[in-house]
Amino acid sequence: MQKSFREFLGIPIRDQLSKGLLGKVCDFAVNPANGEISAIFTRRDKQLLLPIADISKVSADTIWVENPDALATPDEIIRIAEIIKLDTPIFGNRVFTVSRRFLGTVVDFRFETNGWILTKIDVAKKILGIPTEKKLINSSQIVRIKSNEITVRDAVVCAREKKLREKKIAVNLAPAALKIDESGN
């Protein structure tokens, strides 16, 4: 099932047995090498997390775990601690093409809950804090993820610009087609 970061933000993490609240989703730890989501942060200070391997079920509005002791600090799980040290956020990160054209910042991202893999990023430029010119970029177009930027292939921009040119041509032809129809010719 494909979900977005914004859909998951703030949903509860509960123990399957007691139904008790263990925390809420605050952020994700994403491995920049392969786009795999390794853990879910349950505190804004990123000091408590839930390893993805400990999730037993995901429903529409809750993440379920079998073991309430699954929550850990980042230093308790070495593999995840190494990913966190890389400090490569997805949400809010700036996005550039390989040729250094600025596309905007990540305003949301999507992932597959079956494999917990990043599938798409939603990128938008902002004017006065309001997102404009939104683009949906497939994760296969991502070249690298660094702490201060995400780099994508130039083909992403070329394909979008081609669609916009085709759309403008179609819009420019529309009035002439309407005139002919109105006159009955």
Secondary structure element (H or E) that encloses residue 173, with its range: helix 155-183
CATH number (domain holding residue 80) = 2.30.30.240
- Alpha-carbon distance 155 to 23, whole Å? 41
Q: Is 71 helix (H, G, I), strand (E, B) or coil?
A: coil
Quote the pTM value: 0.75
Same domain, 149 and 68: no
Same domain, 31 and 110: no
Q: How confident is the model at residue 161 (pLDDT cuts 50, 70, 90)?
A: low
Taking residues 80-92, report their average pLDDT: 89
Looking at residue 183, its pLDDT comes to 43
For residue 143, what are the domain limits?
A: 94-183
pLDDT tens digits, 97-150: 999 999 999 999 999 988 899 999 999 998 887 777 788 999 999 999 999 999
Q: How many domains does the chain divide into?
A: 2
- Residue that finishes a domain, picked among 85, 116, 132: 85
Same domain, 127 and 152: yes
